[in-house]
Amino acid sequence: MIENSGLSGRVSYAVANPRTGEILESFQPDTPLPPASVAKAITAAYALEHLGPKHRFQTRVIATGPIQNGILQGDLIFAGGGDPTLDTDDLASIAANLKASGLREVRGDFLVWGGAVPYAPEIDSSQPDHVGYNPALSGLSLNYNRVYFEWTKASSGWGVTMDARSERYRPEVQVATMSVVQRKVPVYTYASKNGRDSWTVASGALGNKGARWLPVRKPDIYVGQVFRTFARSHGIVLKTEKAVQSLPKGQPLVIHNSAPLDEILRGMLKYSTNLTAELVGMAATRARLGRPVEMRGSAKEMSRWAAQRHGMTNTKLVDHSGLGDRSRVSARDMARL
């Protein structure tokens, strides 16, 4: 079959009995090759073993001071717990629950904390700037760290919006801006300016109307802006969000739990969501080692686990999603897993 196909490059395979693990047939089964998104199967097994299928990620809203007559004499903190599935509808629900707690005014600052996961501006630096499957990583994530860019052509140019769209809401954001520039290429450019994601798009690439998801590089501020919008709709006016590196102590006012891990992993494998794989993988490493580890170090630890637990000695991963092309897995190793 391989000879008749005319495939170029290196080819390997392993056919195994799934009940016994016996290799029934193989061709160069120990050749390390880039696994691409098949790496997510390793991540799923790794997370299930270290976190458990019913693990839930927690997102909390915390008060640092006493609340008297509905007035918080202190700061309000939106603290992420590494939930990869947090979306705009969840933020609306959290804001409603905050109102139901009796809070109506905050005298202190509004702080956002994403330090549960070491920050990274992107998963793989070799990818184009504008692809939505290569967003930033943080303990605070929203809509898989993507912002919705929509354009409509008018007589005087293009109308442009950037929002955190969901099925129920479409709050506009300021953390990401878009300018239409008269050119044909490049289609997109990106720069970090004044604490914002500053995008330009080539006018020659736009039709009369369209939309696409763009990656977010400042997820903690992104979450803060959207949550502040929902809080204001309930009469709770918050100051402009400030990102903090360490989490101040305080009393949780609202705790939002994600779906159980096994459900999250089914979605990850079905839709091949890279952000989910990275956050879940790093959460598993934190549970394994008792401390947070950045993405590359966590992927190295997952490779070590794969070798120890499943004999996958030809597996060396640079991330948990398979996006980076320097990861290597052999066919025999995957059959073992």
What distances in angstroms separate CA 281 from CA 48, 132, 203, 261, 335, one per listed residue?
10, 19, 39, 12, 21
Q: What is the pLDDT of residues 233-253, one digit of tens each?
A: 999 999 999 999 999 999 999
Task: Compute the average pLDDT of residues 125-150.
Answer: 98
Q: Which residues contact 333 (CB under 8 A, 6 or more apart)?
A: 306, 310, 311, 312, 313, 314, 315
Query: What is the pLDDT, as a whole number, of residue 1?
Result: 86
Query: What is the pLDDT, as a whole number, of residue 8?
Result: 87
The pLDDT > 70 percentage for the chain reads 100
Could you tell me which of 266, 313, 335, 306 has the C-alpha nearest to residue 42? 306
pTM: 0.96
Query: What is the pLDDT, as a whole number, of residue 101?
Result: 97
Q: What is the pLDDT of residues 66-82, one digit of tens each?
A: 999 999 999 999 999 99
Q: What is the pLDDT of residues 160-199, one digit of tens each?
A: 999 999 999 999 999 999 999 999 999 999 999 999 999 9
Which of the four pLDDT bands, split at 50, 70 and 90, describes residue 2? confident
E strands, the chain, in order = 13-16, 23-27, 58-63, 67-68, 71-72, 76-79, 105-106, 110-113, 146-154, 157-163, 176-181, 188-193, 196-202, 209-215, 242-243, 251-257
Structure tokens at 85: 């599935």
Q: What is the pLDDT of residues 286-311, one digit of tens each?
A: 999 999 999 999 999 999 999 999 99
What distances in angstroms separate CA 108 from CA 26, 64, 71, 76, 331, one per listed residue?
65, 9, 10, 7, 56
131, 215 contact by CB (below 8 A)? yes
